[in-house]
Amino acid sequence: MPNLIEPKLIAGNANKPLAQAIARRMSLYRGMSVSLVNARVERFNDQEIFVEVYENVRGEDMFILQSTSNPANDNLMELLIMADALRRSSAARITAVIPYFGYARQDRRTKARTPISAKLVANMMVTSGIERVLTMDLHAAQIQGFFDIPVDNLYASPIFALDIKKQFKDLSDVMVISPDVGGVARARELAKRIGAPLSIVDKRREKPGEIAEMTVIGEVTGKRCIIVDDMCDTAGTLCKAAEVLIEHGATEVHAYISHGVMSGPAVERVTNSVMKSLVLTDSIQPTGPISEAPNIRVLPTAPLFAQAILNIWNGTSVSSLFETETLGPIYEGIL
């Protein structure tokens, strides 16, 4: 039986270009216009956030498009307040589409008397009226368990696999690299998709932000290495790993990163590094310096999220989008 309620999109200020691109892709897929709900999300003089929705959303299936990226607290509050506004306006269902889920690195207590902020954020989202979450490449998959509502965690690896096969052509000398032991599962997933071997760069930290020692586990001599990770913040670890790989005989080093946080000196470090290319997704809106950097490329996620939103709305499988065979036709002519 066809769904009579249309999906409606509303966007915060975190990544308006991605929200508009998702709306365009949904219009293309459906053969009819899908636009963002007319609303204002602004701040009072004291920086309090105010939301007003200008369209009737009673009984509608609403999707809030909002990454909780820098400034994380402002964007998170925008998301919560938009959800509250929609709930009080009698929306039938509220789904938060969060391409980049901030606070995901605080998923456990690493020391005494520290918080589990990711769990706190999950609680706030549920309290605000959000009934489902759609995100991509959570820093820790177990964060899905922090929610008592459905969480769909998409993966960037199928997109990366499509791009790698197009860019590298001959994959016989390609090796996938995990920049730490914790990211092995993610790297193994991409290596399996492209039929490449796997290696690890083991790092030891004296304190956060500083790397004391790096060791390459595996033979990388004569290989074109692809470092894969979920996020790049200051790029210190990434650039150091690239240097270590070159020192161990790698011919080229590339990196595929799901979320380009790119704080502080990150762009300058990448530009001046030995890395031949850094590939990010647009889950976080690229800044001007990122767009202008000669060795940084940005892959679109709008086709993936648009199809996932339609699948949720239709009540069909979201996990089908984990497969390269499914994404291939969606990304045809884009990558």
Q: Which of 119, 165, 203, 240 is catalytic?
A: 203
Strand duo 61-65 + 296-299: pairing: unpaired
Output the six-digit token pair for 59.
């009984």
Which parts are annotated binding residues for Mg(2+)?
139, 180
- The reported pLDDT for the residue numbered 2 is 46
Which parts are annotated binding residues for ATP?
46-48, 105-106
- The reported pLDDT for the residue numbered 207 is 61
Only one residue has tokens 């690229």, namely 286
Strands (DSSP E) found in 233-276: 252-260
- The reported pLDDT for the residue numbered 182 is 84
Instruction: Give CA–CA dist 310/140, Å, rounded.
Output: 26
> What torsion do the CA atoms of 235, 241, 246, 247 make, to the nearest 10 degrees?
130
- The reported pLDDT for the residue numbered 212 is 61
- The reported pLDDT for the residue numbered 324 is 80
> What torsion do the CA atoms of 160, 219, 216, 255 make, to the nearest 10 degrees?
-20
Domains parsed from the chain with CATH numbers? 7-155+302-322 (3.40.50.2020), 157-299 (3.40.50.2020)
Sheet holding 7-11, edge to edge: 7-11, 61-65, 93-98, 132-136, 151-154
- The reported pLDDT for the residue numbered 226 is 98
How big is the CA angle at 312 (ends 152 and 20), to the nearest 5 degrees? 90
Which parts are annotated binding residues for D-ribose 5-phosphate?
205, 229, 233-237
b/e 295-305 (16+ beta carbons within 10 angstroms → b):
ebbbbbbbbbb
| Burial category of 132 from C-beta neighbours within 10 Å (exposed 0-12, middle 13-18, buried 19 and up) | middle
b/e 248-262 (16+ beta carbons within 10 angstroms → b):
bebebbbbbbbbbbb
pTM, two decimals, is 0.94
- The reported pLDDT for the residue numbered 208 is 58
pLDDT in single tens digits along all 335 residues of the chain: 345 688 999 999 999 999 999 999 999 999 889 999 999 999 999 999 999 999 999 999 999 999 999 999 999 999 999 999 999 999 999 999 999 999 999 999 989 999 999 999 999 999 999 999 999 999 998 999 999 999 999 999 999 999 999 999 899 999 999 998 889 999 999 999 999 999 999 877 666 555 567 889 999 999 999 999 999 999 998 999 999 999 999 999 999 999 999 999 999 999 999 999 999 999 999 999 999 999 999 999 999 999 999 999 999 999 999 988 889 899 988 88
Look up 203 and say whether it is catalytic.
yes
